[in-house]
Amino acid sequence: MAAQVIGHAATAQLSPHGKGRPCVITRRACFSASHHYWLPELSAVENQRLFGDCSIAPGHGHNYELIVSMGGGLDGDGMVLNLSQVKHAIREQVTAQLDFRCLNGVWPEFDLNRPEAWLPTTEALLHGIWQRLAPQLPLTALRLYEQPTLWADYLGNAMEAFLTVRSHFSAAHRLARPELSQAENEAIYGKCARPHGHGHNYFLDVTVRGEIDRRTGMVCDLAALQQAVSDEVLEPFDHSFLNKDVPFFETCVPTAENIALHIADRLKAPVAALGAALHKVHLQESPNNAAEVYLEPAQV
């Protein structure tokens, strides 16, 4: 199968339109599975402290969504890869093995009776999926959604992975510079400069980068990361009038860009204290507007 899938792109005649230019394609796959976060070398109290409700036996389940990204040049059929073969590879190596299973022990790396095993977290699961698909498909990236508010990305860089948590807050703001007249502010900010402000339901994605722990399977303490986002952003921002309730925006116009930058500044140190690096902050202000701030070179 590996030779067929990779060879199709490598040996076929190049498309006269694509001219062999590189292209990335994606394939989506879904599976349902359960897992249990529990390390036998820790006490019940220590497991509860580290994993919270995820430590409650016999575990819990998720509907996982996997996005497989693959790259290559177009062939004479106008394809990077034969999608039927891609689908078969993903089914054979991943979904057929994981669907409707308990992930603890389903693969050798998740058998905690082995000293080198780790917990089947989203990050660790992606690492295992990459090892099984890479010999068959020209992978460029993997993304795995454990739930709509939690997902991980893996790019094949040894033990490094990215973890994203999504949260939500509602806030009002007014876009205006105090040194300008109302007419001047409206010329710059339009309706957003109206004197009494307006509100948004903001969606915040915080992405951190780090090494997957060889035992816990985690990039960082997930509960602690979520608590940091709550303490630094949700608690002070939610149901606030940003211009008046958040001191920083008394002198800084709270555009989506400035809010995202300020959130990044607030989260950088708490994330570092967890042993990870703040990689990206994505703030969705409305269905039509979003701002994204990278604190490192853009990768995911």
Q: For residue range 152-164, what is the model confidence (pLDDT) as tens digits?
A: 999 999 999 999 9
Structure confidence at residue 149 (pLDDT)? 97
The arithmetic mean of pLDDT across residues 18-22, rounded, is 66
Domain 159-300 architecture: 2-Layer Sandwich (3.30)
46 counts as catalytic: no
For 269, the token pair is: 């140190």
The arithmetic mean of pLDDT across residues 53-78, rounded, is 94
285 counts as catalytic: yes
192 counts as catalytic: yes
> Residue 43 and residue 41: Cα distance in Å, rounded?
7
Structure confidence at residue 18 (pLDDT)? 54
Spot the catalytic one: 109, 123, 232, 285.
285
Question: What is the pTM for the complete model shown?
Answer: 0.91
What is the SS3 assignment for 131-162?
HHHCCCCCEEEEEEEEECCEEEEECCCCCEEE
Domain ranges of the chain: 1-156, 159-300
pLDDT at 5 over 90: no
Q: For residue range 80-115, what is the model confidence (pLDDT) as tens digits?
A: 999 999 999 999 999 999 999 999 999 999 998 888
The arithmetic mean of pLDDT across residues 17-42, rounded, is 88
Tell me if 98 sits within 8 A of 66, measured CB to CB: no
Spot the catalytic one: 60, 168, 239, 250.
239
| Identical fold, 1-156 and 159-300 | yes
Q: What is the CATH number of domain 1-156?
A: 3.30.479.10
| Residue 176 vs residue 78, higher pLDDT | 176
E strands present in the chain: 22-35, 60-73, 101-102, 139-147, 150-154, 160-173, 198-211, 240-241, 277-284, 290-294
- Closest-CA residue to 149 (of 168, 124, 171): 168
Amino acid at 188: I
> Residue 298 and residue 8: Cα distance in Å, rounded?
31
Integer CA distances (angstroms), 55 to 26, 35, 39, 43, 264, in order: 34, 10, 9, 11, 31
The arithmetic mean of pLDDT across residues 271-296, rounded, is 97
pLDDT at 1 over 50: no
Among all chains, which residue has been given the structure tokens 């202000």?
Answer: 285
> Residue 208 and residue 279: Cα distance in Å, rounded?
5
> How many Cβ atoms sit within 10 Å of the Cβ of residue 127?
21
The whole-chain average pLDDT of the chain stands at: 92
- Closest-CA residue to 38 (of 119, 108, 111): 119
Spot the catalytic one: 192, 211, 252, 257.
192
